[in-house]
Amino acid sequence: MQQVRILHVTEYAVLGGEQYHILTLLRKWKEPRFQMTVCSNPKGPFVHEVKALGVPHVPFIINGKYDITSLLKLMNIFKSGRYHIVHLHGSRVGLYGRIAAKLASIPIIVWTMHAWQTDTLLGLRRIQAPLYLLIERILSYFCDKIIAESDTLQRRAIDKEHIDPNKIVRIYAAIDLNEWKSTVDVKRKKRELGIDSSVFIIGTVGRLVVQKGTIYLLQAARTILQKFPNTVFVVVGDGPLRKMLEQSASDMGIGNKVVFTGYRKDVPDIMRCINIFVLPTLFEGFGLVFAEAMIAGRPIVATTVDPIPEVVRGYQAAILVPPRNHAAIAQALLTIMRSYGSYEEWGKGGKQIVKERYSSERMVDEVAKLYEDLISRKIPHLAAV
C-alpha cells in the first residue's frame, strides 16, 4: 500500500505549545502507512527531539516579519517532497504556508489554530485587528480544514472571522499521561534546584516572553513575601526576557527568593514539587500547562483570558483573576495559602478531568480520523481499505 506523506510545518524550533503538539503526534502515531516529516527552523531543542524520534527534518527559516520569499521557499519544499498532506502550525506559517500549499497543488491542507491571532496584537497594534480578521477569513479558503484547540477558538473563528462552521473542528491539545506515571523524590528534586525542602514553593512554567505575564507574578511576589517569608518562587523556562526579569527581581529586593531554572525537560517532576502553580498569561491558544498543573493536583492561579476558563472548567482548585493585575494575583495566592489544605484536597480531582479531556491518545485518534475523512474525499485511492 502506498504511504501517505505528511509534512508538519512550524516556524520556530523552541519547545512551545505548537512544537509539543507536533511531538505528541509523532510519538503516539501508530499507523505505519503514514510517513511523517517535520519542517521548522533548523536550530533549537525541537529539532533534536524530532531527530531523536527518527523523523526526517526539513530546515526552513522565515527571515523577518515580512519575508515574502517564505512563500517561494515553502512552495519548493512542498513540491520536492510530493506531500499528500501539509499540516501547518502557527500564524506566519499559516499565512505563507496555506498560500504556498495551494499554489503547489497539495491535495490536503490543514492548519491548526494555536492562538487567536488578534490576541497577539499588543498596544497600538490593536488597531490592526480588523485587517487580521479579514486575512484569516480569506485564508480559510486556502485550506481544507482548520483545527481549533478549544471551543472558545472555534466559536470566535465562526463568529468574528465568519469561517464556515463545516471547515473548522475542535480538537483539544493533549498530555502524554505516561510522562506522569513515574514517582518523584520531591526532597531530592528541591535540592537539585537549590531549594530547601521546608519552603513553600510558588511556581510558573513558560517561555519568558511578554505574553506569559511573568513580571506580574514577580510584582505579586513582594506582597506574598511580606506575609509568608518562607516562600520561594520558581520560574521554569527561558526566553528573550530572562535577563530583564532577573534584573527586575533583583531591583525589587526579592532576587534571593526567585529561582530561574532556564529550560527544563523535567517539568512533570518540578510541577509535583511546587505548591501553587501561577501563570498570569495575557493570551493563550490553549494553555496545556494548566492541564499539566491539574494532573499534578496543584492549586492554580491564572487569568480570565480565553480559553483558560474552558481549560480549567470544573477544577475547584483554580482561581482566575484579571490579566495585568499583580494585586489580584497576590490576593488569590494569599487566599489559597491561608486555606491550603482545602485547595490541596480539591486538586485531587484534576487527574480525572485531564484523563477525560486532554489525553494524547484521544487527540491522536481525532487527528487520524480527520486525516482519513479528508483522504477519502480528496485522494480516495489512498484511503484505508
Q: What is the pLDDT of residue 121?
A: 59
Q: Show the domain range for 255.
A: 177-357
C-alpha cell at 247: 534584573
Let me know whether 246 and 162 are in one domain.
Answer: no
CA distance 95 to 113: 11
Same domain, 85 and 227: no
Query: Tens of pLDDT along 83-93?
Result: 999 999 988 89
Q: Are residues 169 and 65 in the same domain?
A: yes
* Residues of the chain where predicted confidence (pLDDT) is lower than 50: none
Q: Both 294 and 335 in a single domain?
A: yes
Q: What pLDDT score was predicted for residue 229?
A: 96
CB 285 within 8 A of CB 216: no
223 and 288 part of one domain: yes
Which pLDDT score is estimated for 124? 64
Please give the tally of structural domains in the chain.
2
- Check whether residue 187 and residue 268 sit in a common domain: yes
The CATH number of whichever domain residue 85 belongs to comes to 3.40.50.2000
Please indicate, yes or no, whether residues 215 and 97 belong to a single structural domain of this protein. Answer: no
Convert the pLDDT of each residue in 319-372 to its tens digit: 999 999 999 999 999 999 999 999 999 999 999 999 999 999 999 999 999 999
pLDDT at 118: 62
Strand partners, 108: 85
H or E element: which one contains 329?
Answer: helix 326-338
Same domain, 150 and 246: no
Q: pLDDT at position 92, please?
A: 87
Residue among 299, 53, 6, 56 nearest 176 (CA): 53
Q: What is the pLDDT of residue 120?
A: 67
What sign does the dihedral 241-48-86-104 (CA atoms) show?
Answer: positive
Q: Are residues 198 and 326 in the same domain?
A: yes
pLDDT in the model for residue 119: 66
Residue with cell string 532577573: 246
Contacts 24+ apart (CB under 8 A), 186-193: 186/272, 186/273, 189/266, 189/269, 189/270, 189/273, 190/273, 193/234, 193/259, 193/261, 193/270, 193/273
Residues 38 and 121 in one domain: yes
Regarding whether 193 and 91 lie in a shared domain, the answer is no
Question: Angle, nearest 10°, between helix axes 91-103 and 69-81?
Answer: 60
CB 160, CB 133: distance < 8 Å = yes
246 Rama class: left (phi>0) / alpha (psi -120 to 50) / beta: alpha
Question: Does one domain contain both 64 and 206?
Answer: no
